[in-house]
Amino acid sequence: MEQTMNDIPTPPTPSSSVCQPVAPQQVQVCLTHKSPSLLGRLVRSMAWWLLICSLVLNVCLLVSAAKVSKDGLAWEVLQRGQADQIVAVYTVRGIIDSDAVKKFTEFYRFADQSSKVKAIVLRVVSPGGGVGASEEIHHMVEALKNTGRPVVVSMGSVAASGGYMISAPADEIFAENSTITGSIGVIAQVPNLQGTMKKIGAEMITFKSTNADRWKDMLSPWKPVKPLQRERMTVLLDELQSQFERIVKTGRGKKLKISKGKYHETIGQGPEARRVAKTELIPFNGKAYLAGEAKALGLIDEIGFLEDAYRRAGELAGLTEPSVRRYKPKGSVISQLFGQQSASVNIDLSLGALDKLQSPRLLVLWTGD
């Protein structure tokens, strides 16, 4: 007897298969889904546990590597040695402001009170900053030197103006070949916003007491600077310059080579322009120098790197097995894992920001101009 397709029995379907219903006269198609084997599930589970354990281990290693002193400073070992023969390294980096002073003060207190710290290496990577902030750090560096322990400076890519001021008290100064240093001078900056105020149709009205009328709003960004005020500001800057020069002379002593230089300056414009001969005192003329020229002028002692500086500090302290440790303010675990936060632009429209905008800034700063 002839059999039709409908008469052919359908084979049993495995429990792990999913069969799609089909119309008569069509071949039935089954899709089989294999369940993960016990071995596969075990491998995936182990992979996840290994990943978690690896992350935890990395965090533990990072935290243990960045040891913390009793004063809350994090430190790392640059060279192993005796624990009671510490050469303490600290870096002043970036603009020298109140925050830099606060951080350095923590290190200063630790180094000043620790009997295990036998020498200090100050790593300077800074173009300078505020006059007051630079002078404060200079004072602390000088105080560390006065304890009788060697202080050696290692200059990075730039250690100019205020960066040089804080370096001056050191027993010896090392700079790299490409280091920019010097720039011994003082500037004052204040923005001129008169044109902006006219464009937006605004005006700043200032009331002054009678006796302070001439000087109280000197260098205001809202009005032109009077010749008398400009002269007064020059007197103030010259006095600060003299203080800066005394700091350098005291720190460098007979190593410093001071000389007079001559140059010509063009005064006036057009047919009335004339060249005037002037003199300047080198190296106190605000000029920036590379390491080779700075060494010739006695601004630095040697051309070398951080390793040379802390090796020399150990020699000056008479250490046989110095332990070189780099100290820095303690950060959070997150900051240690992922580094510093990315730079961002913040626009501050507070009254405090307006006050800063109006106030002249007295700076010992190399601007690259």
Q: Apex CA 136: angle with CA 133 and CA 140, to 5°?
A: 140
How far apart CA 263 and CA 241 sit, in angstroms, is 20
Q: Which of 126, 154, 161, 323 is catalytic?
A: 161
> Is residue 216 annotated as part of the catalytic site, yes or no?
yes
3-class DSSP assignment, residue 208: coil
332, two tokens: 């959070």
Residue 366's nearest CA partner among 135, 157, 126 is 126
How far apart CA 329 and CA 98 sit, in angstroms, is 15
> Is residue 161 annotated as part of the catalytic site, yes or no?
yes
Q: Which of 102, 116, 198, 216 is catalytic?
A: 216
Single-letter residue type at 138: H
For helices 98-113 and 131-145, the axis angle rounded to 10 degrees is 10
Cα torsion angle, 122, 127, 129, 132, sign: positive
How far apart CA 208 and CA 215 sit, in angstroms, is 10
Residue 337's nearest CA partner among 63, 17, 34, 16 is 63
Contacts of residue 4, Cβ cutoff 8 Å, sequence gap at least 6: none
Single-letter residue type at 223: K
Residues belonging to the active site: 161, 216
